[in-house]
Structure 1
Amino acid sequence: MRAVHSVLIAAALAAAVPAFAQQTRIEDRLTDAEFRAAGLEKLSDAELARLNELLARGTSQAAPVASPDVEARIAQAREEGRREAAVASDQGVRPAESREPVESTIPGAFAGFARGREYTLANGQVWKQTDNASIAGARGQNIGVRVRPGLLSAWWLQVDGYNAQAKVERVR
């Protein structure tokens, strides 16, 4: 996606340079809104002077104008990106989640581990056990838990007072 944005910006600049050849400073070429929208207000005076120098040098040479073919490829790349994002969303692919450990409690009664059991944490997260780990006779109220990342995208849930841990996956 960054590559597409870079191509779009380069094409826009290439197309814009000849149109502004009569003016020397970028500040004179753009409206205040365009200047802010491009993020140019963040540049220091030295950076702005360097940009103006580069643009002036570029206008003295024959600057290429984006051809219809380039514009068509840019539009096609943009559309393909939209389609890929829509397909990923339809397939339930979520953006990468944090791999930070979680410390919370299980509000209410805790009755041990069991495959397929869901554990709702006080922070609202819901984790489902995916292995056969068990803790014989484990019981507790408002028990503290830690969920930590493991290898190969695995997550492990451990409750306070027990060394056993269960492999879990996040449901919500």
Structure 2
Amino acid sequence: MSMLRPLLPLALLAAFAFSPDALARKPIEQDMTPEEFKAAGLDKLSAEELAKLNTWLGRKIDTAATEAATEAKKKVEDENRGFFHFGSMEPITGRLQGEFRGFRRGREYTLENGHVWRQVDDAELGGVRLQAPEVTLKPAMIGNVWYMGVKGYNTRAKVERVK
């Protein structure tokens, strides 16, 4: 359940952004008090000018909501890649923190971005000691399966994200 918690803001944003209430937006003159409306000088607009202002504001709000939803979706996907499959086949690249001492089942590998991955297969790469090597994590074609490779070596290990 704790892995689903980061998805909650995206779900709420999507529900609000695409709800009938958001689509049936009130005109600005109904959202402002009469004092605010007059102080902004909007009482001087003709009905046609006010309608055009409301149309422009509606487009601006729709654009901002769409951009916010897109950014929130990307952030959730980026932060949770490896836990869930979002359809992207793009690899994750980065550096490991500290020393890499080869592959071995059960070892955990921490990336500089804070992701922690655990090896779940029997791939081995013994006798290797590297300081903060570059790594690439690639998703498999099917399922939520990932493989980690270390730059300069052909051996890949099957890993799962644990943090």
TM-score scaled to structure 2, two decimals?
Answer: 0.50
Greater length-normalized contact order (CA 8 Å, ≥ 6 residues apart): 2
Q: Give the greater-gyration-radius structure (CA).
A: 1
TM-score scaled to structure 1, two decimals?
Answer: 0.47
